[in-house]
Amino acid sequence: MKLGYARVSTSEQVLDLQLDALRQAGCEQVFTDTVSGIKAHKPSWEQLLAYARPGDTVVIWRLDRLGHSTKHLIEVVEDLSRRQLHLISLQDPIDTTSPGGQLVFQIFCALAEHERNVLVQRTRAGLQAARARGRQGGRPPGLAPRYQKVAPAVKELYEAGQQSTRQLMAYFQIGSRRTLYKILRFAGCQINDTPGAPAPAAAGNLDS
């Protein structure tokens, strides 16, 4: 079964172009979201994943409908692969129902594995550097396990400077700036958390 997915960032944008293309591509069910790509929670996308069965094909208008950054896109594609779902992007050369498309899927998954390995290595290097300066790394008091899991990714995006601290907190569902700083310290990141310190400005918004 072909399952279509369309997304726009704001209520001012329209879905008509995407919906027409998805129907012409033979999608039997179409799921739509009106939410920014930076948001972690996309209700209709989660409904699609719950509805889909192994062997189904997810059809999208363009790859940026799935993820707001290359890293996020790789994670989404890897998740589809684990669920044994195919992916077709109508405006990109992506069709994993074909042998060439399967190769693309494998490349995405390999990139995801490489990204995880790089994050682990950077975290270890940060902790070693902290110890060399006389500071002990590790879990700050009160840091929840779910924050420990995302700490390397939070550090990566924070140091890239492409998102503000407010955007990071919204994306990773972090309740306070104090908790954000705990997460960054856990990942071995040098930060300035003095009261009134300005948040780093976002370099740009990758969502369209």
User: 68-105: per-residue pLDDT in tens?
Assistant: 677 777 778 878 888 999 999 898 878 888 877 667 66
Say what the alpha-carbon torsion angle 44, 98, 77, 7 is, to the nearest 10 degrees. -30
Average pLDDT over residues 22-37: 91
Tell me, what's the pLDDT at 202?
40
Instruction: Kindly list the distances between the CA atom of residue 183 and the CA atoms of 39, 124, 157, 167, in Å, as whole numbers in the listed order.
Output: 19, 15, 12, 15
Pair of tokens at residue 151 = 């700490």
Where does the pLDDT of residue 113 fall: very low under 50, low under 70, confident under 90, or very high at 90 and above?
A: low
Q: Give the Cα separation of 169 and 150 in Å (integer).
A: 12
- Residue 129 and residue 188 in contact, taking contact as beta carbons nearer than 8 Å: yes
**Could you report the per-residue pLDDT of 184-195, keeping only the tens digit for each?**
888 888 775 544
Catalytic residue flag (residue 9):
yes
Which stretches of the chain are DSSP H helices? 16-24, 43-51, 70-82, 99-132, 145-160, 165-171, 177-186
Say which of 9, 11, 89, 98 is annotated catalytic.
9
Question: What predicted TM-score, i.e. pTM, was given to this entire model?
Answer: 0.51
What is the distance, to the nearest Å, from the Cα of residue 52 to the centroid of all Cα atoms in its chain? Answer: 20
- Residue 144 and residue 112 in contact, taking contact as beta carbons nearer than 8 Å: no
Cβ within 8 Å of residue 199, ≥6 positions away: 164, 165, 166, 177
Task: Give residue 171's identity as a one-letter amino acid code.
Answer: Y
Pair of tokens at residue 23 = 């129907």
138 or 115, higher pLDDT? 115
Quote the Cα angle for 164-166-169, to 5°.
115
Pair of tokens at residue 70 = 């290359």
Say what the alpha-carbon torsion angle 172, 163, 187, 171 is, to the nearest 10 degrees. 0
